[in-house]
Amino acid sequence: MAIVIAAEALLRAGVVWAGVYFTPLVWTGYIVFVDAIIASRTGVSPLTARRREFLLLLPISVASWYVFEGVNLLLGNWSYANLPPGRAARWLGYAWSYATITPAIFVTAELVESFIGERFRGRRPLGVPPAAEAGFFYAGLALFAVTLVFPSPWLAPLPWVSVLLWFEGMNDRRGVGSFGEMFRGGDYSLFVSLLVSGAVCGVLWEAWNFRAATKWHYHVPYLPGVKLFEMPVLGFLGFPPFALECFLMYRLFRFLAPVKLATDVLGRPWSVPRRGGPC
């Protein structure tokens, strides 16, 4: 909390570098603060018990977000303002900011799960047939291709929908971590916790971005004048599924990484990958 309070105070005092790096500063403080609450509630947390996995998460967070930055080059749904003039300072801001995205979602989800997780475990299993996982993969891939071939600001929702379907089908078929796998075991706790985390983090992202000196602006055609902070209100619907995507992308990228650990950053065991199917 000291980091968050200091960043707020420096921003209010008009310190230039604090305004430029306000977003990554407050999110760094937030992540450490929430991690500490998790540790006090459960005895373990990413930074206290899974530190190596947490460090591996940081470059994955950057790489995951660049998927959407790449699509945004075509759609132009957001842009950045008041970036620092120096290339090194600018890329420091990019890397630091993007490295906080997935960790923020994950620690928030783990905190939420510590409160509500038991209610959503041991429930009635929901079978996801092989045809469905293949359908998710091909539908997501097709929608992503449509976004790239026919770029338009009106297609703003498609990248978020397509990546969710694409990676869910791919991960489920490969057995490297999917929600279908959890549903078949009657475990809905992480799915629900991530949805809540996405909503919470979405509001905080936009609230802190609104006050920062270096910030992003949106250019989407859906009710552009009806905003909460900088975000058109309909855009907040994208944050919960985005949190699900962050988990799926993380699990796939970690499966592809050469370093293997016993559990993921959320403390869940790694599945044994299956062979075959779309990928």
Asked if pLDDT for residue 55 goes beyond 50, the answer is: yes
CA angle (40, 51, 246) in 5-degree steps: 90
Asked if pLDDT for residue 11 goes beyond 60, the answer is: yes
pLDDT at 168: 93
Domain boundaries, the chain: 2-256
Higher local confidence (pLDDT), 130 or 80: 80
Q: How far does the chain reach from its first CA to its final CA, in angstroms?
A: 42
Q: Model confidence at 173, in pLDDT bands (50, 70, 90)?
A: confident
What's the rounded Cα separation, in Å, for the pair 103 and 275?
Answer: 29
pLDDT at 166: 92
pLDDT in tens, 68-102: 999 999 988 899 999 988 899 999 999 999 999 99
Alpha helix (H) residue ranges in 87-187: 87-99, 101-116, 130-149, 158-174, 179-184
Please state, as a whole number, how many other Cβ atoms lie within 10 Å of the Cβ of residue 25.
25
Query: Can you say whether the dihedral through the CA atoms of 203, 28, 262, 65 is positive or negative?
Result: positive
pLDDT at 279: 44
Asked if pLDDT for residue 156 goes beyond 90, the answer is: no
Residue 93 half-sphere exposure, CB side, CA atoms within 13 Å?
23
pLDDT at 81: 92
Average pLDDT, the chain: 90
What's the rounded Cα separation, in Å, for the pair 193 and 219?
Answer: 30
Query: What's the whole-model pTM score?
Result: 0.91
192, 120 in Cβ contact below 8 A?
yes
pLDDT at 275: 46
Mean pLDDT lowest among 29-33, 222-226, 252-256:
222-226
How far, in Å, are 36, 38, 74, 168 from residue 150 at the CA level? 45, 44, 9, 24
Paired sense of beta strands 78-81 and 231-232, if any: unpaired
In this prediction, residues 42-70 reach a mean pLDDT of 94
What's the rounded Cα separation, in Å, for the pair 150 and 25?
Answer: 37
